[in-house]
Amino acid sequence: MPPSSESDFNLHHPQPLLIVISGPSGVGKDTVMQRMKERGLPFHFVVTATTRPKRANETHGKDYLFVSKEEFARMIDEDELIEHAIVYGDYKGIPKQQVREALSSGMDVVMRIDVQGAETVRKMAREALMIFITTEGEEDLVRRLEARKTETPDALALRIATARKELKRVEAFDYLIVNREFHLDETVDTIRAIIEAEHHRVSPRKVTL
């Protein structure tokens, strides 16, 4: 016997998902996000606000919202952020209104956040879909960080030490994906498959912020 209405199993109008992509520095989170955008996946990609300086290859409003520390402080005071944290000396945060508007439109929302921030989001939105990106091993992660050559030795040592601690936080997440080198599209395909499967749950996630 068919269900009494379409909403019974939410097949035609699935609940939008709040998707958190996280993991230690150096695992390729930004690269994964960029590839998802290049492939035109039908998600709203949250633009994170940060006080760190803009790099040469970055665009304000696309890669990050680059703001002053004074502006960031105002955003905190006026409760405009879902979460915020100090990451390697700079502030990063997720604009609340941006996420709410995207969810209200029915779009799945994808956020790229550090591990500390991801755990804060989980506390606020228990039904968020949490995906942890990692490398094939700790040695691989350290090698990737060293190969970037974008930091002083002291800053690199701090980033490596933090990454090692973050690897131990994987149990706070729903899914684990190994982002192997030269297999970027495979990683994106896996993320897409997880999201698709989540939309077929009998009891869908219902995100509230």
Residue 122 designated active-site: no
Residue 100 designated active-site: no
Q: Exactly one of 74, 126, 148, 164 is catalytic; which is it? A: 148
DSSP for the chain, written as a single string: ---SSGGGTT-SSPPPPEEEEE--TTS-HHHHHHHHHHTT-SEEEPPPEE-SPPPTT--BTTTBEE--HHHHHHHHHTT-EEEEEEETTEEEEEEHHHHHHHHHTT-EEEEE--HHHHHHHHHH-TT-EEEEEE-SSHHHHHHHHHHH--S-HHHHHHHHHHHHHHHTTGGGSSEEEE--TT-HHHHHHHHHHHHHHHTT-SS------
Q: Exactly one of 112, 122, 144, 159 is catalytic; which is it? A: 159
Angle at 82 between CA 71 and CA 7, to 5 degrees: 140
Alpha-carbon span 133 to 199, nearest angstrom: 21
Phi and psi at 163, nearest 5°, equal -60, -40
Q: 26 with 140: CB under 8 angstroms?
A: no
Q: Exactly one of 39, 55, 164, 180 is catalytic; which is it? A: 55
Residue 144 designated active-site: no
Q: Which residues are known catalytic residues?
A: 55, 148, 159
